């Protein structure tokens, strides 16, 4: 991805999506974007945001995983949401998502490998 691959966030940052910089990650950008992003690609009977889902997940996991529960979909604030069946077919997207999760983990001082732990995956479903 080229150096010009960026998005502008609500805080006005020029955020590099190809090579995410942990120092440019902002919790307010994440919260804002996820509050407006609808789960299930909008196929819901009511507005169900990724932010609301993340709060539910944080309550469903053990207390020591609550922060990971809140942040488990934070990459979607910068990359958007791709429905799971399609995401499985997009290996390059998974690479971007993994880089974003590493940057988010570094920014918030959490082990990014926890984004794929069994308890979190159970709560996410």
The boundaries of the domain holding residue 39 are 27-124
- Res. 2: pLDDT tops 60: no
Domain-located, residue 72: yes
68 lies in a domain?
yes
Identify whether 16 is part of a domain.
no
Q: How are the residues of the chain apportioned to helix, strand and coil, as percentages rounded to the nearest 5?
A: 60, 5, 35
* pTM of the complete model beyond 0.85: yes
Q: Give the CATH number for residue 45.
A: 1.10.3210.10
Phi/psi at 7 (5° precision): -125, 155
CB atoms within 10 A of CB 23: 9
Q: Answer yes or no: is 4 within a domain.
A: no
Domain assignment present for residue 94? The answer is: yes
**pLDDT reading at 1 higher than 60:** no
**pLDDT of 80-110, one tens digit each?**
988 888 988 998 998 999 999 999 999 999 9
pLDDT digits (tens, 9 = 90+) for 44-79: 999 999 999 999 999 999 999 999 999 999 999 999
pLDDT confidence of residue 3: 60
Asked, for residue 22, whether it belongs to a domain, the answer is: no
The number of folded domains in the chain is 1
**Residue 54's Cα: distance from chain center in Å?**
9
CA 93 to CA 87: how far, in whole Å? 7
């Amino acid at each position: 991805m080229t150096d010009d691959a960026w998005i502008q966030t609500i805080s006005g940052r020029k955020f590099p999506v190809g090579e995410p910089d942990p120092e440019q990650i902002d919790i307010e950008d994440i919260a804002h974007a996820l509050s407006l992003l609808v789960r299930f690609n909008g196929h819901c009977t009511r507005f169900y945001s990724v932010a609301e889902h993340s709060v539910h997940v944080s309550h469903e996991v053990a207390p020591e995983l609550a922060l990971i529960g809140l942040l488990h979909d934070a990459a979607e604030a910068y990359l958007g949401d791709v429905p799971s069946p399609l995401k499985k077919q997009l290996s390059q997207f998974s690479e971007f998502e993994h880089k974003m999760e590493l940057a988010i983990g570094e920014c918030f001082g959490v082990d990014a490998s926890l984004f794929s732990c069994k308890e979190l995956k159970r709560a996410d479903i």
